[in-house]
Structure 1
Amino acid sequence: METIRIKGLEIFAYHGVNPEEKENGQKFILDIAMQADISRAAQTDDLNETVNYAAVRKTVNAVFTAQKYDLIERAAQVVCDAILENYPKVQSVTVELKKPEAPINAVFDYVSVEMTRSRA
Structure 2
Amino acid sequence: MGIIKVENIRVYAHHGCLKEETVIGSNYRVDVAVSANLDKSSKTDDLKDTVDYVTLNSIVVDEMGVPCKLLETVAQRIIARFLNECAEVDWASVSVSKLNPPIGGDVEKVTVMLEEKRSY
TM-score range, shorter chain: over 0.9
- Contact 2:72–2:112, Cα closer than 8 Å, also in 1: yes
Deviation, 1:109, is 1.9
- Pairing of 1:1-120 with structure 2 (within 5 A): 1-65=1-65, 67-120=66-119
Provide the alpha-carbon RMSD of the alignment: 0.8
- Contact 1:60–1:82, Cα closer than 8 Å, also in 2: no
Unaligned 5+ runs, structure 2: none
Unaligned 5+ runs, structure 1: none
TM-score (norm 2): 0.95
TM-score (norm 1): 0.95
**CA distance in 2 between partners of 1:56 and 1:101 (Å):** 25
**CA distance in 2 between partners of 1:35 and 1:91 (Å):** 6
- Contact 1:4–1:33, Cα closer than 8 Å, also in 2: yes
Aligned residues between the structures = 119
**CA distance in 1 between partners of 2:11 and 2:85 (Å):** 20
Moved over 4 A (4+): none
- Partner of 1:59: helix, strand, or coil? helix
- Partner of 2:68: helix, strand, or coil? coil
**CA distance in 2 between partners of 1:70 and 1:50 (Å):** 34
The residue type paired with residue 17 of structure 2 is: V
Deviation, 1:22, is 0.4
- Contact 2:51–2:89, Cα closer than 8 Å, also in 1: yes
Superposed CA offset, 1:3-38 (max 9, x none): 000010011111000001000111110010101101
